[in-house]
Chain A
Amino acid sequence: MIVVFYILLLFMLIAAIIAVETKNLLSAVICVGAIGFGGSLIFLFLRAPDIAITQIVVEVLGLIILIRATIARDLTSISGDREFFGTVVSIVIIFLIFMAGFKVLDSLHDFGTPVYAKTEKAASQTYIEKGLEDTGATNIVSSIILDYRAYDTLGEATVLFTAVIGATVLLRKKSRKSPEVLE
């Protein structure tokens, strides 16, 4: 199982490097899509099919939008060299984040042994044990997001609503009333 993860991670790393290094915008977009699909496969192997479904569908949508955006442009390739100072700074920052990530990975528990399973009356254990009884939903993710943590879902729906309002307002041609009328 671990080998599959490493192969997928290697695939995603190669895709990320190609996406950064290639001069063609369309192939860069396709490489970004490959990273997302690798991520959704990893979610599937980690037994989180809910997240995998959502990830793969959103990835397809995002890929289509990005491809359309790149094809619509006249300019489909980038030219010119990178700035030396900016490259050095970003490499240093990436290296620092990489080292911090190693530190965090060392302190993590092994896969399959969550931290809170050891303490009694932890929220996650309650969900796993009482979820079916309390809510009647076999899908524990549904029982959490729509019953125990329904406020979160309400907030999420509000965020989506606000995003739609923002898109509609920003992409409009002109305002309904001119500024003089408002004054």
Chain B
Amino acid sequence: MKGMSVIVKTISSWVKVLIILFGIYIVLFGHLTPGGGFAGGVVLASSYVLLMLAFGREFVLKNLPLSLDSKLDCVGGILFIAIAILGVVFGGVFFKNCFIEYGQKFNLISAGTIPLSNIVIGLKVGASLYLVIFLLSAFRRDDSDEQSVFRSPEEIHDRAMKDEKESN
């Protein structure tokens, strides 16, 4: 049985929802209350780190594969530049805060492109931190290998998939 004990698994399966909700709240309300894209993204990444510690690496890989995660990272980066180019299109200046006239101040829909940038940055930071932590945790010496080289994340992914097929 992979992962930690039953108590840790039960508690973390309850708590993960709250952590993810808190991360989404920090990202969405970044322009109104303390927080923002970076902090919210780190909270989102830490929820997956909790799942990784409690249920094991393979569970998280089935939930959010590395290929999807790296795509999310790239999409976040591209969308942030797209928001900057929106400024060129609508305001004439790179990173111009356009659409500022929509919504009222102190409301959720306000502040032009700032909430959009917060969401995009949160996506990007969460995805890349999760990727870095996963890579670092998958990085270990494999003594059974003849050359005793470091086992790569792709190989761990392949092995996990193979084990799963065999267990089924």
Q: Which residues of A contact B (CB under 8 A)?
A: 49-50, 52-54, 57-58, 60-61, 64-65, 68, 72, 132, 134-139, 141-143, 145-147, 150-151, 153-154, 157-158, 160-161, 163-164, 167-168, 171-174
Residue of A whose beta carbon sits closest to that of B38 = A54
Q: Hey, which chain A residues are within 8 Å of B137, CB to CB? A: 65, 68
* Cα separation A160 to B35 with both chains bound (whole Å): 19
Contact between A164 and B36 (Cβ–Cβ < 8 Å)? no
**Known contacts A142-B114, A153-B117, A164-B73: does B105 contact A53 (CB below 8 Å)?**
no
Contact between B42 and A142 (Cβ–Cβ < 8 Å)? no
**Known contacts A146-B114, A146-B117, A150-B117: does B39 contact A138 (CB below 8 Å)?**
no
**Known contacts A53-B34, A147-B114: does B95 contact A138 (CB below 8 Å)?**
no
* Cα separation A139 to B117 with both chains bound (whole Å): 14
Contact between B149 and A138 (Cβ–Cβ < 8 Å)? no
**Known contacts A139-B31, A139-B36: does B73 contact A161 (CB below 8 Å)?**
yes
Known interface pairs A57-B46, A136-B110, A142-B36; 8 further A-B residue pairs with C-beta atoms within 8 A, sorted by A's residue number: A61-B49, A61-B133, A139-B35, A143-B31, A171-B136, A173-B149, A173-B150, A173-B152
Residue of A whose beta carbon sits closest to that of B155 = A173
18 inter-chain pairs at a CB distance below 8 angstroms, sorted by A residue, are A50-B35, A53-B34, A57-B42, A61-B46, A136-B111, A136-B114, A137-B31, A137-B111, A138-B106, A142-B111, A143-B114, A146-B121, A150-B117, A151-B95, A164-B131, A171-B138, A171-B152, A172-B153
Encode contact with A along B105-119: 1 for CB under 8 Å, 0 otherwise.
110001111100110
